[in-house]
Every structure is written in C-alpha cells, then in structure tokens.
Structure 1
Amino acid sequence: MSQLAFQPAYEAEKALQPAKVCVTGVTGFVAGSVVARLLELGHTVHGTCRDPSRTDTVAHLQSLPGAAERLKLFKADLLAEGSFDEPIKGCDFVIHTASPYIINVAQSQVRAKLLEPAVKGTEQVLSAASKSPSVKRVVLTSSCAAIYGNPHEFGKDHVYTEADWNATSTDKVLTYSYSKKLAEERAWEMAKAQSQWKLVVINPAVILGPPLSKRTDSESVSIINQILTGQMYPAAPHMGFGTVDVRDVAAAHTLAMSHPKAEGRYITVAKSLWVADFARAVKAGFPNSRLRPPVATIPKWLLWLIGPMAGMSRDIVTHSVGMCPQFNNSKIQAELGFKFHSPEAAIKDQVDAMLALGIAKPF
C-alpha cells in the first residue's frame, strides 16, 4: 500500500509545488515513511545518514518509487561540525528526524551518548538551515517525551496539550525523555533568534505501523516482537502510552511542511493504549493464531526487582507502571484538518510487514 493510498494527500500538500527537502536520519523508522510520502508527492529528497554506502540500511529507500530520480543520500553525523551544510544547501525545507534513541545507557555515558548528540545534532541541523537562504521552514520530529515524563506529574486526570513540558526527567531520571526535551527547547531558542525560517514541531508518542526495513531498533518493533514471542503471557507490564500510526506521523510531517498556517507544536497521538491492549490488537488481527493475550499484570514491585535484567530501568518502572497518559490531539485536527487512523489497525499492518520482512517469526 502506498503512503497516499493509506493517508491521501491533503489540499495543502497538493498545492505545494515540487520542492527540495532535506530529511535527516533517513534510515530511521519514521524517516522512511516520510521519504516515501515526499517522493510520492513529487518532491526531491536529500537524505542524510551515517553511511550511505551501507546497502543493508538504505536499499529499502533506494527501491522506493521515484527514488532513482529524486533521492540523493548524503553522509552526515550529528556531532560532526558542518556535516549537514552540503545536504541542506539549496533545499526549501528541512525535516529533522535524526536523534539518538538509547533507552538504557549507563549514567556515566548519558551526557556523551544521549544528551550531547540530541542537542548538538539539533544545533548542527538548524545552523545549516540558517546557512542556506533557500530554507523557509524546518519541521522537527520531537516527541511526547518532551511534553511529559511521569504521566501523573500534573495530576492523575491531567490531559496533556502542546502547552505542557516534561517536568520529571533530568540527566539522571528518564534520560531519553530529557534528551528530547532539551533538543526541542534548543530548537525553539534557535528558531526565535532568527527570521529566515519557521519552525514547526511534531510530537508523537509510541509509533506503530509497518516498518519499511529490517531494522529492529524501533520501540514498537520491540514491543510487538515481545508479544509475538509469548513474553507478554500470562502477564504484561501495566503501562500505558499514547499511540499513532507511522504513516500518520509521516503525513503530519509533510502536512506541517506544506500547510501555510502550520505553527508551533502538534501532539500527534491517535489514542492511548495499555500494553495489554497491544497484545489484544495482535490477537484480534490474527484470530487463528496460537497467540495468547495476557490475562494479568506484573506487580510493580516485581518489575522494580527484575526490570533491569529485562532491559527496563527502575526509573521507568517508577514513573510509568500503573499509569497511562491522556492527550488532547485537537490542535493538529483543527488547524491542519488532520485525520488519524486506528492504532489497532496499525498493529495488524505492522505484524504483516514484520512477517514479510523476516523480522518476526510466524506465531
């Protein structure tokens, strides 16, 4: 299924003349769908990644319709001074998706491996945008992690909006979320210090839906694989997340790039689900499978004890278990006319794609 067949082009996207767009971090889960949509809309894409010569990480992009004529890959590194200057030069728009994704990092390495790459990478990209007079808009992939840390940090019944900022995360607690907050704050500082380009920010939560490549380091691929391999039976962690289809996230980026009135932050979350709901959605999509959804939840005290051995740090257990954040997603719908699709359907499509790519085994 093409990007536009799933999420048809909006009027603002159709009205935009073919442009040159730099997309950073093109080998990532979100960026692949962004590139696919841009190419299908007729744009030329300058994609950055750490090593364009690695066919195992870029072949899926090069095989996209329109890629042979309108996709050019560039080598760039978040910490390498000036490495984004060449790919951004002459571009009309920049979509900055590249950011380090490391959930479990040793405390001694947090600043070097997580915080500095996230912030300095943002500085590098936005500085390069300012060096190219052609750039008129930058769309930043941030996260709901910049909006909240602990789902109950503003009260149990709080519904998050674009006005909220993460009040829990620090360089010692929920450090990945802290990196997203710092990077977005720095982007807004830099945007307000100049008048050449406009910044628009997309804030998704857990992103579901079909991957385009065999990379398995996305959060949702990991969660779904745990379900498919029976790790969620008989009990699952009682944790909730905002969820959204990756194809909707791609459309949110390209619409934010195209729409003349797009501004500020946009919460890009269709609905919130508990982890057990993910498993139930897989079972509903594959009713004849042997998969057994969880029938209980793992006690918080037990997760706190065994979590680190299973890759779940204790700060995540403390600030996530037993809680599910709620979001107000009306801004993107009201201002841009955006339409969300079902996360449960995205899970079905994701499993189909994972099976086809060989990153999940039949279950």
Structure 2
Amino acid sequence: MSQSEKHPLYPEEKAHAPTTVCVTGVTGFVAGSIVARLLESGHTVHGTCRSPEKADTVVHLTSLPGAAERLKLFKAELLEAGSYDAAMAGCKYVIHTASPYIMAVNAREVRAKLLDPALKGTENVLESVNRTPSVTKVVLTSSCAAIYGNPTEFGKDHVYTEEDWNPTASEKLLPYYYSKKIAEQRAWELAKAQSRWTLVVMNPAVIMGPPLSKRTDGESVRLVKDILDGKAYPACPVLGFGCVDVRDVAAAHCLAMAHPAAQGRYVTVSRSIYYSEMAKIIAEAFPKSGVRPPLFAAPKALLWLVGPAAGLPRDMVTHAVGFCPQFNNSKIQRELGFKFSPVEDAVKDAVAAMDKLGIAKLKA
C-alpha cells in the first residue's frame, strides 16, 4: 500500500506543480517518508546524506516509486560549510530534517554529538539557502523538545502550544531538548534577517510508525523494539509523551511546503500516550507476539539508580517519568486543514513493518 492510500495527498499538494525540493538527512526516519510523499506528488528530490555511495544505506530510498527518474542523492555534512550548496541548486523548497536524535549522551560528548551538529548544522544549511536564489521556503523539522522540558514547568495543568519555549533544558540538563531549542531559535534569527525565503517549523513529539529502512539505531524504533523484546514486562516507567504517526509528520511537512498560508510553528502531535499503553496496543494487536503489558509501574527512585545502564538518563527520569505533557494541536488543523491519524495505527504499523524488515521478528 502506498503512503498516500492511508494518508492521502491534501488538495494543496495535488494542486502544486511539480518542482525540485532539497531534503536534508534523507536516510533518517522522518525524511524517508517525506521523500516517498514528494515523489508520489511528482516532485524531483535532491536528497542529502553523509554517504550516498553506500547502496545499503539508501536502497530503501532508491527503490521508491519515481526514485529512478526523480531522486538524486548528494553528499553533505552538517558541520561542513557549503556542503549543501550543490544539493540546493535549482530547488524551490528546502525541507531540513537532518539533526541528531540521541537521548543518552555522555556529558563530555554533548557539544560534539548534539549541540554542534544541531546548531552549526542549521546555520550551514540556512547559509546555503541564503546563497541559493531559487529557494522560496524552508520547512524545518524541530521538535516539541523545543517547546517543553518538564511538563509541570508552567503548572501541572498547562497545555503546550506554539507560543511556548522550553525553559528547563540546558547544555547540562536534558541536552537533546536544548539542542532542538537552540537550533530552532537560530533558524528563526536567520529567517528574520532576510526577506527572500520564508520559514515554517514542524514541532512533532515522539514519532511512531513504519520505518522504511532496516536501521535499528533510531529512538522511535528502539521504543517499539524494547517492548517486543519484553523490556516493558513486568514493569515499565510511568512515562507519558506526545505521539504522532511518521506519515502524518511527512504529510505535515509536505503540506506546509505547498500551502501558501503556512506560517510560523506547528505543534505536530496527534495525542499524548503512556509507554504502558503502547505495550497494551501491541499485545492486543499481535497476540502471538509474546508481548505482555506491564503489571505495575517501575519505581522512580529505582529508575534513577539503574536508568543510565538501560539508556534512560537520570535527567530524563527526573523530568519525564511520572508525567504526561499535553499539547494543543489546533493551529495546524485550523490553518492548513490538517487531519491527524490514530496513534494506535502508527504503533501497529510500526510493529508490522519491523517484523517484515527483520528488525524485530514476531513469534510464530
């Protein structure tokens, strides 16, 4: 089933004449679905990645319908100034998805692995945009991490909107969140310093759904794989987060690109969900998987002690466990006519795709 059959193209996408679009970080989880949707819409895609010559890392892209005729891959590095110039030449739009997504980072490596690639990478991409006269709009993948840090920081009943900025994160506390905040803020500074191109920003939270490639290092794939591997039983953290289907995220980027009224930031969250609920969805949808929902909540104090060994940093335990942030997603629906799909479908389709790709085999 093609992406647009479950997530059909919006009228603005259908009406837009074929053009050339630069997508950065095409081997990433989100970018793959964006490329698939752009190709289905008839556009030509200039995709950037570190190693386009490695066929095994891009085969899921080069095998997409339309890729042979309308997908061209370019080598580019976030920290290398000017490396995006060639890919952007002749492009009308740039969709910038390339940025590190790593929650557990050694404190000594935060700047090298998170902050520099996110911030300097954004600067390098947008400086290339400034040198490319054909570009009229940039759609940036940011995150709800730029919007909030601790769900109680504005009061326990606060509902987050596009007006909010994360006041909690810093280089030493929730550094991934901080990387998304400073990168997006810098993007707005650079956008406001010129008048030729416009900036639109997508702010998704945890992204679920079917991966296109066999990569297993993504945080979204890891969350599902941990459940399939039995790590949510008999106990798991009381961990709530905003959630959205990867195909919705791709559709939001492409719609924002094509829609003349798209402006500012957009909270791109279907609804909030608890990790334990994800386990229940998988257990019910795949009864032969062997997945068992958690019986009780893992104590927060215990998680603080053992979390780092399991890939859950202590600052995440402190500021995320026991909470569930809530988001207002009405702006994108009101301004762009966007419709979100059920989170349950994203979770179930993720499992089915991971089984098909061999990332996590379901039991017979």
Same fold (TM over 0.5): yes
For residues 297-354 of structure 1, the C-alpha deviation after alignment (integer angstroms, 9 at most, x for no partner) is 1000000011111111110100001000000000000000000001111111110000
Matching residue's letter, 1:148: Y
| 1:167 alignment counterpart | 167
| 2:3 alignment counterpart | 3
Aligned to 1:133, the other structure's residue is in SS state coil
| 2:129 alignment counterpart | 129
Cα distance in structure 2, aligned partners of 1:23 and 1:284: 37
Gaps of 5+ in 1: none
Map 1:146-165 → 2, pairs under 5 A: 146-165=146-165
Report the more deviating stretch, 151-160 or 37-46: 151-160
Matching residue's letter, 2:16: L
Map 1:25-174 → 2, pairs under 5 A: 25-174=25-174
Provide TM-score, normalisation by structure 2: 0.99
Cα distance in structure 1, aligned partners of 2:164 and 2:33: 27
| 2:239 alignment counterpart | 239
Cα distance in structure 1, aligned partners of 2:106 and 2:34: 32
For residues 94-135 of structure 1, the C-alpha deviation after alignment (integer angstroms, 9 at most, x for no partner) is 000000122222212211221111011101111111111110
**Are 2:205 and 1:205 equivalent residues in the alignment?**
yes
Cα distance in structure 2, aligned partners of 1:302 and 1:82: 47
**Are 2:329 and 1:335 equivalent residues in the alignment?**
no
Matching residue's letter, 1:97: T
Percent identity of equivalent pairs: 67
Cα distance in structure 1, aligned partners of 2:105 and 2:218: 16
Cα distance in structure 2, aligned partners of 1:81 and 1:183: 16
**Are 2:250 and 1:215 equivalent residues in the alignment?**
no
Aligned to 1:168, the other structure's residue is in SS state coil
For residues 6-63 of structure 1, the C-alpha deviation after alignment (integer angstroms, 9 at most, x for no partner) is 1111111111110100000000000000000000000000000000011111000000
Aligned to 1:213, the other structure's residue is in SS state coil
For residues 188-234 of structure 1, the C-alpha deviation after alignment (integer angstroms, 9 at most, x for no partner) is 00000000100000000000000000011222210111111111001
| 1:280 alignment counterpart | 280
User: Are the aligned partners of 2:48 and 2:74 in contact in 1 as well (CA < 8 Å)?
Assistant: yes
Report the more deviating stretch, 64-73 or 113-122: 113-122
Cα distance in structure 1, aligned partners of 2:107 and 2:263: 36
Aligned to 1:110, the other structure's residue is in SS state helix
| 1:309 alignment counterpart | 309
Matching residue's letter, 2:241: F
Matching residue's letter, 1:57: T
Cα distance in structure 1, aligned partners of 2:345 and 2:112: 38
Map 1:285-300 → 2, pairs under 5 A: 285-300=285-300
Deviation at 1:287, TM superposition (A): 3.0
Aligned to 2:360, the other structure's residue is in SS state coil
Cα distance in structure 2, aligned partners of 1:20 and 1:155: 45
Cα distance in structure 2, aligned partners of 1:283 and 1:113: 35
| 2:259 alignment counterpart | 259
Aligned to 1:207, the other structure's residue is in SS state strand
Aligned to 1:112, the other structure's residue is in SS state helix
Aligned to 1:243, the other structure's residue is in SS state strand
Cα distance in structure 2, aligned partners of 1:81 and 1:258: 28
Cα distance in structure 1, aligned partners of 2:97 and 2:217: 15
Q: Which runs of 4+ in 1 moved over 2 A?
A: 287-290
Cα distance in structure 2, aligned partners of 1:349 and 1:315: 31
For residues 132-170 of structure 1, the C-alpha deviation after alignment (integer angstroms, 9 at most, x for no partner) is 111000000000000001111111100000000001000
User: Are the aligned partners of 2:288 and 2:362 in contact in 1 as well (CA < 8 Å)?
Assistant: no
Deviation at 1:288, TM superposition (A): 4.0
Cα distance in structure 1, aligned partners of 2:289 and 2:304: 32
Cα distance in structure 2, aligned partners of 1:303 and 1:339: 37
Cα distance in structure 2, aligned partners of 1:305 and 1:113: 25
User: Are the aligned partners of 2:228 and 2:289 in contact in 1 as well (CA < 8 Å)?
Assistant: no
Aligned to 2:287, the other structure's residue is in SS state coil
Cα distance in structure 1, aligned partners of 2:103 and 2:288: 34
Matching residue's letter, 1:120: K
User: Are the aligned partners of 2:266 and 2:332 in contact in 1 as well (CA < 8 Å)?
Assistant: yes
Matching residue's letter, 1:87: A
Cα distance in structure 1, aligned partners of 2:290 and 2:115: 42
Report the more deviating stretch, 351-360 or 123-132: 123-132
| 2:186 alignment counterpart | 186
Matching residue's letter, 1:327: F
What is the total number of aligned residue pairs between the two structures?
A: 363
Cα distance in structure 1, aligned partners of 2:289 and 2:22: 42
